[in-house]
């Protein structure tokens, strides 16, 4: 019996990925070695650490903690600065799509970073992180009026494929209104969701929080946030233009989880907490699990079921 080939390649708008599975920005993608390991891995693309104009040490440690159902972090955007990432990419030869994640600390810094990224031929696309919950109380992704004006100015000069990493939203009206704004601009993808803000995890032995920055408050990731990620993906899939791809992120630790993200409307997925736990071999395991899952479901490609979540009957 000949086994039917399962195709898990993907498109982010017109960007071709050999696999729909990639890393999430922030997870093992900061240093030369980490990025090199990602380039050598079986991921379909790589995403750099969200960078600023200058290197940042980030928040005081301990700033990351895992438990069986998830993770909490308040990293504070530690990164080596945009020049490091641009120079790294200039020196490396890769056919793998590269998404440069940027996260300026102000609107003006984001303009500067986007302009600089536009000069690099090695960058496939820009992932503009408007959702880091660990720097200030209000992120740009939470302000509909500001984000419209910001994007209006960005697309006066930006010529690179550009997508936006969004925070989790909990009201359908907000997702609808955000989609109405995004639909007016030549955005090629969104990534949703970033970690859930303002969580806390308690160490009962010491009767303290498990991380030090922000009095123990941080962003929650891992399996525990998957239902929120799926809800955001599904709602955005309903309201966005169909040429805006969705990259699902949040709670993926198995091939079944990938299936759920794509069934809700994602074109590709990013792995964060589970990559931190396993390292780059996680891509091999997930590809195998996802392929086997599709074979059992009798699907030959992700386009066979993408966005086709059925209503309960």
Q: Where are the alpha helices (DSSP H) in 107-171?
A: 107-117, 144-154
C-alpha separations of 67 from 6, 71, 107, 221, 224 in Å = 33, 6, 35, 10, 10
Going by C-alpha positions, the residue among 122, 125, 106, 119 that lies closest to residue 13 is 125
Among the options 51, 132, 192, 249, which is catalytic?
132
Q: What values do phi and psi take at 237, rounded to 5?
A: -60, -35
107 CB-near residues (< 8 Å, 6+ apart): 140, 146, 150
Q: What values do phi and psi take at 14, rounded to 5?
A: -100, 5
C-alpha separations of 227 from 88, 113, 249, 252, 260 in Å = 36, 33, 11, 11, 10
Going by C-alpha positions, the residue among 18, 75, 17 that lies closest to residue 49 is 75
Active site residue 253: no
Would you give the DSSP letter of residue 250?
S
Is 128:82 a contact under the CB 8 Å cutoff? no
Would you give the DSSP letter of residue 305?
T
Active site residue 192: no
Among the options 101, 131, 179, 195, which is catalytic?
131
Return d(Cα 247, Cα 129) in angstroms, integer.
13
Q: Please give the positions annotated as active site.
A: 131-132
């Amino acid at each position: 019996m000949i086994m039917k080939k399962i195709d898990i390649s993907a498109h982010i708008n017109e960007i071709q990925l050999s696999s729909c599975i990639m890393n999430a920005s922030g997870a093992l993608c900061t240093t030369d070695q980490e990025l090199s390991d990602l380039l050598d891995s079986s991921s379909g693309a790589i995403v750099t650490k969200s960078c600023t104009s200058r290197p940042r040490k980030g928040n005081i440690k301990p700033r990351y903690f895992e438990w069986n159902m998830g993770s909490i972090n308040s990293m504070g955007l530690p990164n080596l600065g945009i020049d490091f990432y641009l120079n790294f990419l200039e020196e490396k030869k890769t056919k793998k799509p590269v998404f440069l994640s940027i996260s300026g600390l102000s609107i003006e810094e984001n303009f500067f970073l986007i302009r600089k990224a536009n000069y690099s031929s090695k960058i496939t696309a820009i992932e503009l992180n408007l959702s880091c919950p660990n720097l200030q109380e209000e992120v740009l992704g939470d302000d509909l009026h500001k984000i419209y004006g910001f994007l209006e100015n960005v697309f006066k000069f930006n010529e690179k494929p550009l997508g936006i990493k969004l925070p989790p939203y909990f009201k359908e009206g907000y997702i609808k209104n955000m989609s109405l704004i995004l639909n007016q601009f030549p955005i090629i993808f969104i990534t949703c969701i970033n970690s859930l803000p303002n969580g806390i995890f308690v160490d009962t032995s010491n009767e303290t929080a498990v991380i030090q920055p922000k009095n123990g408050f941080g962003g929650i990731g891992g399996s525990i946030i998957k239902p929120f990620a799926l809800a955001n993906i599904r709602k955005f899939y309903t309201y966005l233009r169909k040429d805006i791809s969705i990259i699902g992120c949040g709670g993926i630790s198995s091939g079944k989880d990938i299936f759920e993200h794509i069934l809700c409307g994602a074109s590709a997925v990013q792995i964060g907490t589970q990559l931190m736990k396993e390292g780059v071999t996680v891509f091999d395991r997930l590809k195998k699990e996802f392929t086997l899952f599709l074979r059992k479901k009798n699907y030959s490609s992700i386009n066979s079921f993408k966005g086709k979540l059925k209503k309960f009957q």
